[in-house]
Amino acid sequence: MTDTKPPPVKLAFSHVGLHCKDLPRMVDFYTRVLGFTETDRGIVRGLDIVFTSWDPRDHHQVALVSGRPDTTGFNHVNQLSFRVPRLEDVQSVWRRVKDEPGVHDMRGTNHGNAFAFYFRDPEGNRIEVFCDTPWYISQPCIEELDLSRDAKEVMAEAEAFCRAAEGFKPVEDYHADVAQKIAAHVRSLGG
């Protein structure tokens, strides 16, 4: 029997909403430390909500909502990931965040295909700020990254590491390979 379902719609990440224990503290952190701008605020279903964005085309990228109980045993959000253009931008965020009260579990990571800075915000949500590199290597790859080092030195060492790693190729070649895989998958779904 043939599956007549249409192919999936291509989705692009838009925004995330986080329930917060201490809404003013979280608004301060996301606006003052991470540089989001408050775009709106109000009340929805009895809860305070603050909308924030980095992009004027997006009403909000992170919505912060009151009402998170102190007794929640597990945070269902694995991480919020934000792309920046360059390694120097990742380092800039690291410098802004590293001495911030309540921020913890910080680490720089070289994934080969990206440089990332992971940390937990004041309420324990994991955040990743990353930039892509011009290379692809087989994933996962988790190498320690010292974000205090000179960006040019980091790039040179990372390139040498990547060129010696399994699966190395320029990222454009990897993108072309994935585009072919996606096209084949969509065709297999009847698209």
Give Cα 191 distance to the centre of its chain. Answer: 30
CB within 8 A of 146, min separation 6: which ones? 108, 154
| All domains in the chain, ordered by first residue | 16-68 (3.10.180.10), 78-191 (3.30.720.110)
Query: Whose CA is closest to 185, among 12, 3, 8, 11?
Result: 8
Q: Cα(26)–Cα(78) distance, rounded to whole angstroms?
A: 18
- Average model confidence (pLDDT) for the chain? 89
User: Model pTM?
Assistant: 0.79
Helices H, strands E: what count in the chain? 4, 11
- Summarised one tens digit per residue, pLDDT across range 145-183 is 999 999 999 999 999 999 999 999 999 999 999 988 878
